[in-house]
Amino acid sequence: MAEAPPNGTEKRRAAHRSGLAAEDRAAVLLEARGFEVLARRVRTKAGEIDLVARLGDLLVFCEVKLRAGLEDAAFAVLPRQRRRIAAAAAAYLAAHPEFDGMNLRFDAVLLARSGAAEHVPGAFEAEA
């Protein structure tokens, strides 16, 4: 007998597991480049930040995108998401005054299902 197609709950669970694995891959990539990953899946009232990392006096808010290919992943960081990430970063900074005065940057880690990965420093600017 053939298996039934996955229902909505199973698909959400699989997507959640895939997202966690992608964030793990991205964290390893950043750490290999000297970053200290300070937080993962930061939830604020404004939205979620995938990774917060630090390198010296640079604080990076990083969006992780996993798609079939790197090009697809690059196009997946939409303007609406960039605004949400910037608002979430502002909320994070308001809750963490110890980071006042640090240089800030918004990066992306693009991942392909083939295993290819690319860190894009300064992938986008904060938008109002």
The residue type found at 101 is: G
Domains and CATH numbers, the chain: 8-124 (3.40.1350.10)
Q: What is the pLDDT of residues 24-59, one digit of tens each?
A: 999 999 999 999 999 999 999 999 999 999 999 999
pLDDT in tens, 111-128: 999 999 999 999 988 765
Tens-digit pLDDT profile for residues 91-106:
999 999 999 999 999 9
Output the average pLDDT for the chain: 90
**C-beta of residue 108 within 8 angstroms of C-beta of residue 72:** no
- Entry pTM: 0.86
Alpha carbon of residue 81 to chain centroid: 11
